[in-house]
Amino acid sequence: MIHLHDPAQLAAHCRELRVDPQHGERLARLVLREGQSVDAALARLRGEVPRAWSDALARDVLALERREDSAADGATKLLFRTSSGAPLESVVLRAASGRRTLCLSIQSRCPIGCRFCASGSLGKVPPVGLEELLDQVVQARRLLAAEGGALRNLVFMGMGEPLLEEELLHAALERLLDSRGFGFGPSRVCVSTVGLPGGMSRLAARFPGVRQALSLHAARPEVRERLIPVARTHGLDELRDAVREVGERTSGRVLVEVLLLDGVNDGPEDEAALAAWLEGLPVRLNLIPYNAPGVLPEDGTLDLTLRPTPRVRCEAWAAAFRARGVETTLRRSLGADVAAACGQLAARRD
């Protein structure tokens, strides 16, 4: 099949069947940027094209199995199936400001095993192909275009650890940033990682305009290692060096994310440790309320004793860090009522 987000493949297909290359370019723009279906876009082309040419164009790579819309905030969760039958979830976020964002999943399940995340409790990770990863964007753009909206931002913050799939991630970013294809500006794309320093450095070197987010969650080693098993391999000093390097390479701020958990990482000693860790780094702090899992895990990875820090204490934390001169936001989670908020994606099979 011919994929419209592959300019070289599309151009070769046009040459082979003697189709005006401008037809291919216009079709790619209509589908990848304007959210048209392939067939609707074909109908808008001026002049006929060979049936063999249009028949070879890839349609939806992912099968949309279920759509769930939040009654509370307008978020939409999409449950797809890959060609292998593996589940894959992504989320369309509609902010009150009008900004539309797609939260992408790069893996069907996540092997990192964070104690607070439902995605990390699903065992072995089936592979996801480049076309399947990008089809989340194609279908989300079409969904928003149908309601008169436009997709503005992309965040790799769904299921999976992007830097464990570094080759796939980089290939996807090449296509997403290509002006002949999706045409996203680098600053409109953010990659979130649990903290793989080498991958962070390589991402910044190859895509300096793409934003990075670090899921830190605790600045005390014993607490972070309890929450994130991989923290035993990559310590806080190593991560601090990586954040500084990313800031130098990109001339931008790394988004440092902290999920506040009652009695676990929200005490005075945690605040002091985080303040010391952030000192002098080019960062913006994002405090996140904990969302209870929508689907319980089968393997016991998820810590079911975790509880959210009360909102009043979350706000106190935000105020304290702002007073220290740290740019700080307190996230408003979207889609919790359909298990689409941060930490809830689990690609259930029911």
Among 14, 89, 103, 114, the active-site one is 89
Q: Are 203 and 212 in contact (CB under 8 A)?
A: yes
CB neighbour burial string for 65-85, b if at least 16 within 10 angstroms, e if fewer: eeebbbeebebbbbbbbbeee
Say whether 161 is catalytic.
Answer: no
- Look-up of token digits 């005390």: 220
- Look-up of token digits 């099979």: 349
Among 103, 110, 190, 342, the active-site one is 342
| Separation of alpha carbons 29 and 85, rounded Å | 29
Say whether 342 is catalytic.
Answer: yes
Structure tokens, 342: 């941060």
User: Phi/psi class of residue 93: alpha, beta or left (left: φ > 0; alpha: ψ in -120 to 50)?
Assistant: beta
* CA dihedral for 327, 330, 332, 338, sign (positive or negative): positive
| Separation of alpha carbons 181 and 114, rounded Å | 35
| Separation of alpha carbons 44 and 27, rounded Å | 9
| Separation of alpha carbons 309 and 159, rounded Å | 24
- Look-up of token digits 């199995």: 65
* CA dihedral for 159, 185, 131, 201, sign (positive or negative): negative
Give catalytic residues, as residue numbers: 89, 342
